[in-house]
Structure formats: structure tokens, C-alpha cells
């Protein structure tokens, strides 16, 4: 066994690109790290990279036992392997060499209940466990991700000095990491982060569709518009990369690459989980659901090609040709619609997190979550600072929409938003994210909804009873009998 002084500070198992990059990041911040992967080639590759990228203190091991024993106690080991069975397999491999008080940290996109199950199983053999969502992709892992650790607070304390340095650093806001809460809360928060990411990407793609299909903007113009947007309230990683994408020429043929990319979206499951959780908790998350549905529909490429033929012969395509628009005005309107819809999407995500926090008694702080998403992660945006401020002003805020600042912004943008949605509908361009966000806003802000009629129907056919607006209690009416008297 290695001498006490030669032991490393932490270990990392699973050396795909994310794992390699995170290990190099940790080493670069001054923490000697042991790395392990079943396929030894990955280990050698990582050590090789560590040498090249500045002689970083990365130590490779080809077998799990010497890997585990090379780490100082209590041993902290981050796992970056595929969610599900590979995680259980890796835990099994490593835990047999670990000792009481050591800790395994799952850095993958794991379903939060799996983390809670593993935390319990580990506790039975005296081991600690953390489920830590990591966002930022490969680049973030290397240079500063946003990290969402949840589970054993004791274990978190052992890695706090590491993660505070490894995380993205945002001026005046601090490192993009905080202890999230107990159990699977770190995974849950990361899952909703990804759901919000689905929403953002959908809304941006709709803005693109309206500007391109109705406004007839070229890729060069789109590049200009998104670059301009990235200087204002929409400034964010996703707007920035979108601007970049429009400027990239095809390397295999004439024209721009974006026009050659097949319109079929992939997904790994966190968006679907988010929508399922929203339904389980009775939280309306229509913007996130619309982005998930859009991905499903995008997958039906062959069917859509056939459907397009069917409707082309009936003249539906001609609607588009009839539209004439003022480009400048349209660009300005779409920017405002995008921003307003984005507020709705974040409001839904935050409400979902709060509902889960209440159910599980996690005590999550929504403002802190907005803070650690300001840098490093895929949804990083200047806008998150406004969300943090809203929850600072009022931690009990029922919905972001009614924060005085956001409410004012919604009101200022609603005309533009309505114009964009109407224009898209009339042009036959689907904008499910923008329109359902608008419906969310219009539903939430209305004191009286037509739900009275739904409730009356329920009482009519099922005697489900109803409440009244003018007196307390539960009422049932013999609607059928009364209607019969009238009809006779």
C-alpha cells in the first residue's frame, strides 16, 4: 500500500470524455486525483492528457483495488458512468475495497430514486453516498461546470473545498455549486435543469422558425440577430451557440451546415422524467411538455414527409406565401416573445422543484439554484440573476410571473408575444412552446376560468359535488331532473 503522504485526495471512476475532463479539472485546481476505468486504455489516455495539459497530478490505476487504496481516507470517489445498471456495477466493484466512512459520488444523470435506494444500501455497509448532477457538457467539466450535489451532508463537507474550486466561478455570485439537500435532491434538481434546457432550446428553435419561415431571414441575418440578442436580456450560452451555428458553412457541400442537419431530435430521458414528475405532482409544465412533444414529433420524419404530401395537394402550404411582414418589427417582436415565454418555462420548472421539495421535505432554496445555474451549465444566462433576485425578494413567491419585476416585464412584452403567436398560427408555423407559454400566462393571470362549467359537468354526470363562489360548503344539484323539467 502507498505511504500516507503519497495518497491522493480523491478518485474518479469512469473515464469517458466527461470523466476525463472533470478529473483534469480537479487536478488542475491542485487536488491530486486517482483515476480508474475498466478498459485500461482510458486510464492511460487520461494520464497522457494530464501530462500534456500541464503535468497535472493525475494517477492512473488499472485495477479497482489499488485505485481505491491510493486515495486518502475518508475516500471520496466520483463515478461518471451511464445511469442505471453500469452505476450499480461500478458501486459493486469499488465498494468491496472501501471502508466505513468512505463515500461514492454519482456524477451522472441518474433517476433520483435510484440514488435514494443506493444511499440506503450504502449506509447499511457504513458508506456515504452523494448524487451530484453535473452540467456544462465536456467543456464545462474541463473548465468549470455547475454542480448539484445532494445526499449525505457529511460527505459533502469532505469534498466542499474541491467542488468550490472546480465549479464555474461567476463574478459577484461565487462558485456554481452548493449543497442541494438530502437524498436524491441533487439528481432531481439536475433533471429539472435539463427539462428547462429542453424548453429553452424549443423556444429558440421556434424563434428561428418564425424568423426564417415567415420573416424570410437568411442564415447570415439570423447570425446577426442572435449575436445582437446575446448582448441584451437574452444573453445566454444557448443564444450564443445558436448565433455561432448560423455562421458555420457546410464542409461537404455549398451553403450552410444548419440547413443540412436532419430535423430529428435525439434525447436521453431527463426531459421525459421532468414531464412525468410534473404530472405526478400536479404541476402544470406545459412549455417543457411542449418541447418534449416536439421532440417526439420531430422523430416521425418519414410520417411528416408523407403528411406534407397529403396536405400540399390540398393547398395548406400556400398560406406561408401570402404573408408579408416588416422584418425589423418581426425581429423585435420575436425577441420579446422568446423572453416572455422563457419566463413562463422557468416559472414551471421552479414550481416543480418546489412541489417536490415540499413532498420530500428537502428544504430546497430556489434562489440558490438560480445562482448556481448562472455559470457553467447549459442554461446559464444573465436572466438567472433576475430569478435569484425575485426569490431573494420573496422566498415564498407563488410563481415567478407575479414577482413585481417579472410581472412588469410580462406586461411590457405581451403585445409583441401575442402578435408573434397570431402570425405563426396564421402562417401555419407551429410554435407550441411560445403559444402554450402564452396560454399558461393567460390562464394563470385570470381570476375566473371556465372551470366552473367543467365542475358543473362533473356534478351532473357523476355527483362529484361543487363549491360555490358565494357561500362555503359542498353542493350537489340534480341537474338532470331540473333540465328535464325545463325541456318538457
Ligand X SMILES: *[C@@H]1O[C@H](CO)[C@@H](O)[C@H](O)[C@H]1NC(C)=O
> Which residues are known to be catalytic?
190, 197
203 assigned to a ligand binding site: no
90 makes contact with ligand X (CB under 6 A): yes
Q: How far apart are CA 101 and CA 96, in angstroms?
A: 13
Q: Which of 29, 49, 74, 86 binds ligand X (CB under 6 A)?
A: 86
Angle at CA 129, nearest 5°, toward 128 and 135?
150
16 assigned to a ligand binding site: yes
Sequence-distant (6+) residues with CB within 8 A of 460 are 477, 479, 480
149 makes contact with ligand X (CB under 6 A): no
Near ligand X in 20-59, by CB under 6 A: 37-39, 42
Query: Mask: binding to ligand X, 313-352, rule CB under 6 A, as x and -?
Result: ----------------------------------------
Count of chain residues binding ligand X (CB under 6 A): 10
C-alpha cell at 267: 434525447
> Edge-to-edge strand order for the sheet containing 58-61?
58-61, 33-36, 10-13, 76-79, 103-106, 128-135, 146-151
183 assigned to a ligand binding site: no
Query: Least Å distance between CB 64 and ligand X?
Result: 8
C-alpha cell at 341: 415565454
- 172 beta partners: none
284 makes contact with ligand X (CB under 6 A): no
5 DSSP 8-state letter = G
**Candidates 12-20, 48-56, 70-78, 238-246; binding stretch for ligand X (CB under 6 A):** 12-20
Query: Least Å distance between CB 7 and ligand X?
Result: 20
Q: How far apart are CA 284 and CA 29, in angstroms?
A: 42
Query: Least Å distance between CB 98 and ligand X?
Result: 14
13 makes contact with ligand X (CB under 6 A): yes
Per-residue DSSP letters for 156-217?
Answer: HHHHHHHHHHHS-EETTTEESB---BSTTHHHHHHHHHHHHHHHHHHHHHHHHHIIIIIT--
Cβ proximity to ligand X, 41 vs 453, nearer residue: 41
Q: How many CA atoms lie within 13 A of 300 on its CB side?
A: 9
81 makes contact with ligand X (CB under 6 A): yes
81 assigned to a ligand binding site: yes
428 assigned to a ligand binding site: no
277 makes contact with ligand X (CB under 6 A): no
Residues found near ligand X in the complex (CB under 6 A): 13-15, 37-39, 42, 81, 86, 90
Annotated binding site: 14-19, 37-39, 81-83, 109, 135-137, 193-194, 198, 268, 295, 458, 464
Amino acid at each position: 500500500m502507498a505511504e500516507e503522504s503519497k495518497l491522493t485526495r480523491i478518485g474518479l471512476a469512469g473515464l469517458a470524455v466527461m470523466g476525463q475532463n472533470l478529473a483534469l479539472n480537479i487536478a488542475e485546481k491542485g487536488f491530486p486525483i486517482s483515476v480508474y476505468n475498466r478498459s485500461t486504455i482510458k486510464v492511460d489516455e487520461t494520464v497522457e492528457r494530464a501530462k500534456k495539459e500541464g503535468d497535472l497530478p493525475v494517477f492512473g490505476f488499472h485495477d479497482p483495488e489499488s485505485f481505491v487504496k491510493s486515495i486518502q481516507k475518508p475516500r471520496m470517489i466520483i463515478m461518471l458512468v451511464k445511469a442505471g445498471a453500469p452505476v450499480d456495477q461500478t458501486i459493486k466493484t469499488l465498494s468491496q475495497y472501501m471502508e466505513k466512512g468512505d463515500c461514492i459520488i454519482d456524477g451522472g444523470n441518474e433517476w433520483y430514486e435510484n440514488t435514494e435506494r443506493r444511499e440506503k444500501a450504502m449506509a447499511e455497509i457504513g458508506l456515504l453516498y452523494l448524487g451530484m448532477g453535473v452540467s456544462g457538457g465536456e467543456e464545462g467539466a474541463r473548465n468549470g461546470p455547475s454542480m448539484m450535489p445532494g445526499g449525505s451532508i457529511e460527505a459533502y463537507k469532505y469534498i466542499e473545498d474541491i467542488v468550490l474550486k472546480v465549479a464555474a466561478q461567476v463574478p459577484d455570485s461565487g462558485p456554481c455549486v452548493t449543497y442541494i439537500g438530502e437524498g436524491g435532491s441533487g439528481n432531481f434538481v439536475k433533471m429539472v435543469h435539463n427539462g428547462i434546457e429542453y424548453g429553452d432550446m424549443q423556444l429558440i428553435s421556434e424563434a428561428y422558425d418564425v424568423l426564417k419561415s415567415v420573416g424570410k431571414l437568411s442564415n447570415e441575418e439570423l447570425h446577426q440577430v442572435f449575436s445582437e440578442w446575446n448582448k441584451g436580456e437574452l444573453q445566454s450560452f444557448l443564444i450564443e451557440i445558436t448565433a455561432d451555428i448560423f455562421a458555420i458553412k457546410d464542409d461537404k457541400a455549398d451553403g450552410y451546415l444548419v440547413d443540412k442537419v436532419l430535423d430529428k431530435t435525439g434525447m436521453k430521458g431527463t426531459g421525459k422524467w421532468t414531464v412525468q414528475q410534473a404530472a405526478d405532482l400536479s404541476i402544470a409544465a406545459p412549455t417543457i411538455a411542449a418541447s418534449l412533444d416536439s421532440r417526439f414529433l420531430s422523430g416521425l420524419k418519414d410520417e411528416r414527409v408523407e403528411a406534407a404530401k397529403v396536405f400540399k395537394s390540398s393547398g395548406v402550404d400556400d398560406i406561408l406565401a401570402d404573408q408579408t411582414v416588416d422584418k425589423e418589427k418581426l425581429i423585435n417582436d420575436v425577441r420579446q416573445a422568446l423572453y416572455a415565454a422563457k419566463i413562463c418555462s422557468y416559472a414551471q420548472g421552479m414550481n416543480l422543484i418546489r412541489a417536490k421539495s415540499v413532498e420530500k421535505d428537502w428544504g430546497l432554496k430556489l434562489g440558490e439554484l438560480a445562482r448556481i445555474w448562472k455559470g457553467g451549465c447549459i442554461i446559464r444566462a444573465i436572466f438567472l440573476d433576475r430569478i435569484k433576485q425575485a426569490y431573494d425578494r420573496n422566498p415564498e413567491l407563488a410563481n415567478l410571473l407575479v414577482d413585481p419585476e417579472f410581472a412588469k416585464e410580462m406586461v411590457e412584452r405581451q403585445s409583441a408575444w401575442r402578435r408573434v403567436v397570431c402570425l405563426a398560427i396564421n402562417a401555419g408555423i407551429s410554435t407550441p412552446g411560445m403559444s402554450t407559454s402564452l396560454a399558461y400566462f393567460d390562464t394563470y393571470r385570470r381570476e375566473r376560468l371556465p372551470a366552473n362549467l367543467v365542475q358543473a359537468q362533473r356534478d351532473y354526470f357523476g355527483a362529484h359535488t361543487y363549491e360555490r363562489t358565494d357561500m362555503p360548503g359542498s353542493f350537489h344539484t340534480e341537474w338532470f331532473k331540473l333540465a328535464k323539467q325545463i325541456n318538457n
